[in-house]
Amino acid sequence: MTLEDWLNVSFGVTSKNGYEVTFPCPECGHERFSFNTQLKVGHCFRPSCGYAPTIKMLNVRSRTQIGVVINSEAQHYKKPAPKLEIPSEAKPLVELVDGQLMTKFERASSEVCKRGVSYENQYRFKFQFDGQRVYIPVYSNGELINFVGRAAWWKELDIPRYKYATGASTRATLFNWDEMKSKEHIVLVENTFNGIWLMDEFNATSNFGSDLSKDQINLIHLSGVKRVVILWDEGAEKLARRAVTRLREKAVQAIALKIQGQPDNHTIDALRPWLQFALENVRDRNTIIDTTGGQS
């Protein structure tokens, strides 16, 4: 029995388009629920639901368990990887103690604040610190799938600038995607610090670099996001144009902004009119809006 056969037996597939099959949402019953058999992730298009299960989560709800039925595909299912954890030496950068946000790492927490990440957001996103790196956990469906370990920029350290979990990838998700996937529009930046800094004001998030993978594009396509503005660093214009084109091919309205330097070289007040203008012009023929006035 194939994966599609199992989905049909378990949930009653109503239609198929390429890798995407449609059946009633297992969470709310809404008819517009799509599951991607290549990415093995689904999404309910009812805004009040937004259920986005992995195949493991669907298996729990199914009428027939995968391990019993899909014998012919058993070899395709890898043994679960060991549980991913942030290095044990790292400790919470900010903690909630008796209703108050507290830190044992005043200098580190202060330096992160200077990057636009408030004490509240350091606690909200579970930042950690080991004396050499600030660790930002990356979650998907509530599960830790990677981390970004940024070397302490205020110290003289002979270590690589970034560290990620061995064998893990951020190419299949976006930062804080569990929350951002239900937004009507999002702004994509390269840097996680910038993503958090601009998140509350502009629905910003990070795609972890100056490129969008096929998996990331499919995630956006299957989500509730309708408009995307790409706000990558100076020099990434060619890649931004390509990402816009690929998003538009998936019927996602998208456009890029060309800026000088990085987003955090500008103030929120300076970025606001450009981002508002970009959101209003995502259907424009052009793929990029130049905010530099021709300067380089």
Using pLDDT thresholds of 50, 70 and 90, give the confidence band for residue 32.
confident
Sheet strands side by side (includes 133-140): 91-92, 128-129, 133-140, 143-151, 162-164
Picking from 138-142, 211-215, 278-282, 292-296, which range would have the lowest pLDDT averaged per residue?
A: 292-296
Site of tokens 């499919």: 218
If one compares 240 and 141, the residue with the highest pLDDT of the two is 240
- Does position 76 have pLDDT exceeding 50, yes or no? no
Picking from 5-9, 162-166, 246-250, which range would have the lowest pLDDT averaged per residue?
A: 5-9
Q: Render pLDDT for 162-191 as a digit per residue (tens, 0 to 9).
A: 999 988 888 889 999 999 999 999 999 999
Domains of the chain in start order, with CATH, are 3-75 (no CATH), 91-164 (no CATH), 177-290 (3.40.1360.10)
Q: What pLDDT score does 86 carry?
A: 94
Q: What pLDDT score does 287 carry?
A: 96
In angstroms and rounded to an integer, the radius of gyration of the C-alpha atoms of the chain is: 21
Q: What pLDDT score does 70 carry?
A: 44
- Does position 73 have pLDDT exceeding 80, yes or no? no
If one compares 25 and 268, the residue with the highest pLDDT of the two is 268
Q: What pLDDT score does 25 carry?
A: 86
- Of these ranges, 30-44, 77-91, 219-233, the one predicted with the greatest mean pLDDT is 219-233
Residues 6+ apart with CB under 8 A from 183: 203, 224, 225
Using pLDDT thresholds of 50, 70 and 90, give the confidence band for residue 74.
very low
- Does position 71 have pLDDT exceeding 80, yes or no? no
Q: Which two tokens stand for residue 108?
A: 């580190």
Whether the model pTM is above 0.85: no
**Do the Cβ atoms of 146 and 188 come closer than 8 Å?**
no
Residue percentage of the chain with pLDDT more than 70: 91
Q: What pLDDT score does 195 carry?
A: 97
